[in-house]
Every structure is written in C-alpha cells, then in structure tokens.
Structure 1
Amino acid sequence: MSAAITTASNADESFTEAFGGWQHRSILIVDDEPGMRSFLKRTLASRCSRVETAESVEDAAVLLGQQHFDLIILDNSLPGKSGVDWLHEIRARGLYNDVVLITAFADLDIAIRALRAGAADFLLKPFRVNQILSAIGRCFDRAHLRRENFVLRRELDQHADLAGADGLIGQSAALQPIHDAIERLASVPSTVLITGESGTGKEVAARAMHFLSNRSRNHFVPINCGAVPPDIIESELFGHVKGAFSGAASSREGLFFYAQGGTLFLDEVGELPMAMQVKLLRALEEKKIRPVGADREIPVDVRVIAATNRNVELEVAEGRFREDLYYRLNVVQLQMPPLRDRLEDIPALAASFVRQLAQQLGVPPRPLDDKVLASMAAYSWPGNVRELRNLVERWLILGNLPDAVFGNRMAINVADRAADGEVSLEAIEKQHILKILAESGGNKTEASRRLGVSRKTLERKCAEWGV
C-alpha cells in the first residue's frame, strides 16, 4: 500500500452507522497506483453492493458503458490524461455520476478546475479512512436529496388528483383482482401496462406496485407524456448536454436519471410521438439511454410502468402506436375497473377523501349521511374516482350537495347513454331505482312505495348491486 495512505482507528464502525444505505450503492475507483486501488476497494467492498477498479480512463470508460455507478473516485494524475480533463469529457457526453477527485498535489488551480468540471468533492493525499468515507457519504446524501427534491417539486407542480392516498381504497369484487395483481407484480421487475378510463386510479396502482417492491428505497417518478410538448419530451426523459439545441445553456439530467434504481411511471404513454416511441423501445431493450446531444449511451436501472386510457390494440392497428413497443410494455396488463362497476367502494373512497381534503382545505371533516351516499350510488360516474374526489371537495366547501345540479347531471348522463345504445335496459332500471332511493333519503320503505314494488324486491336489487 502506498505510504500516502493513513488510517484512523474505529472508522469502520462509526461510518457504517453514520451513512446507512450504502449496501445498495456502487462505486468505480480510477487510479493508476495498485496500492491505492487495493486500499480503497478493501475499505469500500464491505459497505457497498459493488466496487470496481480501473487503472486508466480508457478502462473506466469501458466499465461506465456497461453498468451504472453511483460514484467515481478519480485520481487526477493518470497516464495520458488528467482526471480533471477526463471529467470535463464525460460531463460533455452526458454522464452525471458524482465524482470525488483525489490528488497528491495541493494545487488550488486544479481544485478550482475540478469543481468547475462538476466534481462533488476534492481530497488531498494522504487522507485518512474517515476522510474518504465522509466525502463519499456527503456525495450520497446530496444525490439522495437532489433526487428527492426534484421528485417532490414535480409532485407539487402536478398536484396529482389522488395525492395522499396510500393505495387503492375498497374491497369490491371488481377491485379484488387488482389488489392481488399489484401484490404479485410488486415482487418482479417486469414492465406493466395499466389500462382503464381516465380517473380510475392508474397512477395510484403504479405507486402501490413501487412502494411494495424492493425499489421503494428509491424514487417513483411520474410523467404525463401527453402534457409535455413533443419537441422536448426526449430531453425530459433522457436529459441533454450543454449546447445540444438552442437554449441548452447547461447540461441537464432527465427523468430516467432521477428514477435510477426506482420506478418511472409513463402516464398517457399513447400520446408519445412515433419518433420517441422508437427511442423508448431501445431504452427498454438495451437498458441504456442517450441524452440529447451526447455521443454515448448511459446504463440505467429503472423499472418502467406505463398507463393509458386509450384502446392500445386499436391504436396499433391504425398505425398510431408501434406494435413492438406495445408488446414490450404489455408484458403484464392491468385493467382498472371504472367506478360504476364498484359502487360499493364509494363510502370508503368518499370517507377517505373527506379526511384528506378537510385537512388540505382547513375545514372540519363532516360525516357523509345516507342521503349523500345514496345520491352518489345513483350516479354513473363518467369521471370515475377523480370525479368523486372533486364532488367531495365541492361538498366540503359548500356544506351540502346541490341536489338539482347533481340530479340533472345524472339524468342527462343516463339519457345520453341510452340514446347511444350503450346502456342496457337493466342498467337504466338500476339508475332509476337508485335515483328514487336517493330522493327518498335512503329510506327503502318510501322508495319501494314510490316505485310500486315490494321492499323485499328493492332490498334484493340493492344486494345485487352492492348498495
């Protein structure tokens, strides 16, 4: 081992405790001195999931092209090319790995150049064990906070409709297969395509899969593909290097970078332009991405879950969605049921939204009475769970349900659907009975009198519908 290396007693125990979570991290050591490589590898191998070494930037470049590293420990004095010069090069190529630069020369100019090139830390040889561990810990902490802040900012900006829900709420027969599938799919890395009408909780299902998986230690990064302009969607997903296009004044990481080790949720994936579909397919197949303007690909470890409210098979048949990408995404398909098929879940959903929204709005939570729930059960919910949430918010703000407005919306909905021939006579009968039940305030004796049927018949109907 080089004489430039000194050690500190008890460093192992103190720094293992101080910086938890290293067991999932990977580090690349680039140094031409065998003693330094051996020392650093022995120091870090028991703490990290993977530690690789390279004696030149050429060898390091090969390793970086094969797999992702969370951190690079880079010696500045290397044969043929300095560490700082190589750091400039990899940054220009779109590689954003954190770098700790080490050098035996106390040169202020080198330190300034290293930091300007994007080095996260700078250490002067000789250094102690606790110094290098501290530098690595700071890098890991900053990287985690940077990703966490980015994800939180996106979620605040997007203000997801079902934010705050811990999962899918309800135990209806229509939802039970979804609960079972999510639990099974959480344990495998396969891509999943979630389909269903708008507002049925596709993102909630994707989040549940992520948080039940071993990727939950890293981030769940959502993007609505239909909300991003087609000319910047590639940069949004893959990132870009400085000067890649007009206005690219600096390099920028993409969403794949922030989802590293976690899950990327592609909502409304059917809205992706055809050119972007080709690049996404390649990223899924090769597990590598190429930032816009970069001349090399970067390995990534990201699970992709996609969702759409479109009929994807029809989109493929009509040439608007690539068949090969469809089959790559559709390893497993999860079809989310509409709310009208799980009316018995409405009380639990509405109560959950009351708790969430009352806190957000700063108003006292109000219990949902039978009349309100009966009115909700009498509606067909074309906007699904999202519409229910919005109605609960309106109810909390106004203090009551505007029965006339709600009734008209229901009646118009039933009439339109019947005119289109999309609803059976049985469905219209159900809507009518539930409407009368709502108007009777949930009183089945009164409702059966108005309907001209026995209470026993009404109770049997309600039992069939889970009301």
Structure 2
Amino acid sequence: MSAATPVNNPEEPFVEAFGGWQERSILIVDDEPGMRSFLQRTLVGRCSRVETVESVEAANVLLDQHHFDLIILDNSLPGKSGVDWLQEIRELGLHNDVVLITAFADLETAIRALRAGAADFLLKPFRVNQILSAIGRCFDRAHLRRENFILRRELDTHVDLAGVDGLIGASAALQPIREAIKRLATVPSTVLITGESGTGKEIAARAMHNLSNRSANHFVPVNCGAVAPEIIESELFGHVKGAFSGAASSREGLFFYAQGGTLFLDEVAELPLAMQVKLLRVLEEKRIRPVGAEREIPVDVRVIAATNRNVEEAVQEGRFRQDLYYRLNVVQLHMPPLRERTEDIPALAEYFVRQLAQQLGVAAKKPDSALFASLASYSWPGNVRELRNLIERWLILGNISDVTAANTTPGTTTNSDVTLEAVEKQHILKILAEVDGNKTEAGRRLGISRKTLERKCAEWGV
C-alpha cells in the first residue's frame, strides 16, 4: 500500500452530525489520479457538487466560477505547495474551509498549515472515516459559526414570527399579500418590499425565505440605514487583513453568511451612492469582492430589499440610482399600513399579549372592548410595531387610560381635517419629549430607525 492510498475500513461507521451534506459542495485539489478518484467516489453520493482538479491553476479557474463550501487540498503539488497556495487565497479574500492532506508531514508544515488558515490536517494514508470526520468537523463548525452569527442578529432585531407566513390577521388587505408571498417564494427573483415603517416588511421577506427552497440555509437581515457609510461595504462583502486601519484580521461579510440563503436589505434607499454602484454589480454578476481583496468571489444569494421611502422620488432627485432601482424592483410587494387593516388589531393585540406577557414575566390579560375601541380610533403612524410597543406599555402599566393617553395630548383635536402628517409629527414629538430627546430610545419605541427619526426632525426644524 502506497503512502497516499487511503484505508477503507467499513467497520468504523461515520455519522454525519448535522446532516445536510446534500447541500454542500467540495473541491478536491490533488495531483494523484488515484486519490482524486477515491475521494470523488467517497463524496459524490453525499454532496451536491464534487469537483476534482490536479493543480492550483485549475483550482483557481473553478473558484472563479463557483462557490465551494470546502476544499480538500494536497500539500505536495507541482510548482507550488498547498500551504503556499492556501496563504495566497486567504490574502485574496477567499474564506473557504480547507482540509490539508499530505504524505510527508512534519511539525513545521502542520504549524504553517494552521497559521495559513487550514481547518484540519490529515496525514496520508488515512481511513475513510478519518476524511469523513474531518469534513464533518468543518461543516459542523461552519454551521455553528453561521448559526451563532444569525442568533446574535436575531437577539438584536427581536423579530418574531407567527404561523407559516408570520402575518397575523384575516383582513381583506392581507389576502393578496399572502398570495403574493407564496408565489414569490417559488422563484429566485429579486423583490422590493415597500411600505411605511412597522408594517411588517421584514416578516414578509422572512416568509418568502421560509417557504422557499432556500429555507435550509440562513436568512440574513441588515438595516442599511443603521450601518455607518464608511463600513457598509465591509459589512456586506467582508474584508482582508490590512485592508484599512483597524483591520487586524480578515472577516467574512453578510453575503458570506447568507450563502445559499437570503440577504434582506432593509432601508435599502439609505445606501450611499458609491455603495449602490457596487451592489448593482453584485446583483448582475453574482460575485463579491471583499474590501482590500484582489479577487472576486462567486455567491449564491437571493436578495430581497425593502424601503419606507418613495424610491421613484429619490431616483428623480438623484439620491438613488435608477439602474439599481430597476434591478431591485423586479417584483414589488407593498405592505398595507395598519390603518387600512384595523380589523386585524384584535388578533394582533391578543398575539402580542401572549408573546410579551411571557417575555416580561407578567400575567397575560385579555384586552377588553374599551381598549379595542381606543386602538381602532387611532391612526397608527408607527403601524404594527407601534401597536406592539403600546401593548407592552399596557401590560406594564395595567391602566387603559395611561396607555391611550399616549395617543393624544392636551389641547389636540380629533377633527377629521387633521392630516396624517400632523398626527405623526405630534406623536413623534411627544415620544421624544418622554425620553428627553434620546433619539435612539425614541426610535425603538416608535419602531423606526434613528436615521429615519433624524431625517423627520430635520424636515420639521426640530
């Protein structure tokens, strides 16, 4: 048996811990035909895509064309060692997991491999279960890394879904939305979701993802208006070590974490113009370039965007690129405001009571007709998100009058001639006064971003 020949030991079973290998792709780089053939036979029934090449030059061609979840890399290659090539691709911004295999290992090579970013290191000859275990560890770590990242973002955003599509209520305004979500879930097209703040745009985007064939992978949301313009490119595409001051190490971007899944760009109209150009290129070519990298990386990500602004007006004013608008607006889904579906308020209120009572550790009270009457008479500038915040205050204060007083101020009128904009301004200024001008806290209570709140205050001269 040669040093490069693997040992097939069927008596040592292997268990795929997380499963889902059928969604994974692997690139094998080895100059020995027997090893390439063996690894391909071993993996082709387990993974969705297995490619084999005999040189780093051929590997570079495939990496430019496709995304691979894992690379199995021989260290002894003609012209260039596997470790040297691994260092090169890391410097170019490629973060693929790599298992290095070699027949001539020493401590120095192992240390260099790990420092270069190899996820695992195997000495030939190896058993079948050893290579499968190494691959499984890589997939498990990648799964957990993405899972932890997504869970941290979930805790930050506090998005809760109810039912399959997350939409609560049976109003006529919701029926076409539900039907559209089901249809859009079956296609890969880019979708632009419009509507006022707090109408459930992210919930609709999540529903499209959960009902699609991408649901096995992650839904990654990002609020474009909440990320500083100078770091938004790194946030989306990642960066390589030394790309800018403070970049002490390479970092994957949100497109990386959304690989195979869905990236939700909320408040997309807040993107700087320079970033709009780069996003358009990514949407058209399905490739990203991490900040400071010399190489583009293919990605398989569905993009769903959302905005509460009038994008056509922004295009006319030169604040949003027309070509990006057309590229995002393949299909548009408009979320109705709560004032157009007031019949859903009882169902929403009862849902929020159940949800928030458990989170707050208080008794779940049943809203009565007096509270529903008060809720139905309000215009809801903050929409469903504002309703949720009001129910939270009701559960804490326990007094309907204390809560409904938040909807009016002394001296205000309920005259039907009062415009929606006036009601919105009145309510926002009242919340700002309650929090002593803290725009971050006011935005949280109102269900809008700080940037949106600052824009409104600037318009009002506040």
How far apart are 1:419 and its partner, in Å? 4.1
Q: Which residue of 2 aligns with 1:8?
A: 9
The 1:332–1:421 alpha-carbon spacing in structure 2 relative to 1, beyond 3 Å, is: closer
Q: What SS is found at the alignment partner of 1:100?
A: strand
Q: Which residue of 1 aligns with 2:24?
A: 25
Q: Which residue of 1 aligns with 2:120?
A: 121
Matches within 5 A, 1:370-385: 370-385=369-384
Q: What SS is found at the alignment partner of 2:249?
A: coil
- Give the TM-score, by structure 2 length: 0.87
- 1:344 partnered with 2:331: no
In structure 2, distance between residues paired with 1:137 and 1:262: 21
Q: Contact conserved, 1:353 with 1:392, CA < 8 A, in 2?
A: yes
The 1:16–1:294 alpha-carbon spacing in structure 2 relative to 1, beyond 3 Å, is: same
Q: Which residue of 2 aligns with 1:418?
A: 417
Structure 2 residue runs of 5 or longer lacking an equivalent are 423-462
- 1:54 partnered with 2:42: no
In structure 1, distance between residues paired with 2:27 and 2:272: 37
Q: CA RMSD in A?
A: 1.8
Counterpart residue identity of residue 285, structure 1: E
Q: Contact conserved, 1:201 with 1:385, CA < 8 A, in 2?
A: yes
How far apart are 1:4 and its partner, in Å? 2.2
Q: Contact conserved, 1:56 with 1:78, CA < 8 A, in 2?
A: yes
In structure 2, distance between residues paired with 1:414 and 1:312: 32
- 1:163 partnered with 2:135: no
Q: Which residue of 2 aligns with 1:80?
A: 79
Matches within 5 A, 1:173-322: 173-322=172-321
The 1:291–1:411 alpha-carbon spacing in structure 2 relative to 1, beyond 3 Å, is: farther
The 1:413–1:268 alpha-carbon spacing in structure 2 relative to 1, beyond 3 Å, is: farther
Q: Contact conserved, 2:379 with 2:420, CA < 8 A, in 1?
A: no
In structure 2, distance between residues paired with 1:89 and 1:413: 69
Q: Which residue of 2 aligns with 1:330?
A: 329
In structure 1, distance between residues paired with 2:135 and 2:41: 15
Structure 1 residue runs of 5 or longer lacking an equivalent are 424-467
In structure 1, distance between residues paired with 2:308 and 2:276: 17
- Give the TM-score, by structure 1 length: 0.86
Q: What SS is found at the alignment partner of 2:121?
A: strand
In structure 2, distance between residues paired with 1:337 and 1:411: 30
The 1:379–1:19 alpha-carbon spacing in structure 2 relative to 1, beyond 3 Å, is: closer
Q: What SS is found at the alignment partner of 1:240?
A: coil
Q: Contact conserved, 2:7 with 2:125, CA < 8 A, in 1?
A: yes
> What is the count of residue pairs matched by the alignment?
418
The 1:369–1:94 alpha-carbon spacing in structure 2 relative to 1, beyond 3 Å, is: same
Matches within 5 A, 1:101-140: 101-140=100-139
The 1:184–1:16 alpha-carbon spacing in structure 2 relative to 1, beyond 3 Å, is: farther
In structure 2, distance between residues paired with 1:331 and 1:224: 21
Matches within 5 A, 1:89-104: 89-104=88-103
Q: What SS is found at the alignment partner of 1:306?
A: strand
Deviates more, 1:398-407 or 1:352-361: 398-407
How far apart are 1:154 and its partner, in Å? 1.7
Q: Which of structures 1 and 2 has the bigger CA Rg?
A: 1
The 1:142–1:281 alpha-carbon spacing in structure 2 relative to 1, beyond 3 Å, is: same
Q: Contact conserved, 2:75 with 2:102, CA < 8 A, in 1?
A: yes
Give me the identity figure in percent: 78
How far apart are 1:409 and its partner, in Å? 5.3
Counterpart residue identity of residue 100, structure 2: L
In structure 2, distance between residues paired with 1:125 and 1:249: 34
Counterpart residue identity of residue 303, structure 2: V
How far apart are 1:421 and its partner, in Å? 8.8
Q: What SS is found at the alignment partner of 2:293?
A: coil
Q: What SS is found at the alignment partner of 1:305?
A: strand
In structure 2, distance between residues paired with 1:394 and 1:105: 67
Counterpart residue identity of residue 8, structure 2: T
Q: Contact conserved, 2:263 with 2:303, CA < 8 A, in 1?
A: yes
How far apart are 1:407 and its partner, in Å? 5.5
In structure 2, distance between residues paired with 1:139 and 1:173: 48
Q: Contact conserved, 2:17 with 2:140, CA < 8 A, in 1?
A: no
How far apart are 1:402 and its partner, in Å? 2.4
The 1:310–1:133 alpha-carbon spacing in structure 2 relative to 1, beyond 3 Å, is: same
The 1:325–1:303 alpha-carbon spacing in structure 2 relative to 1, beyond 3 Å, is: same
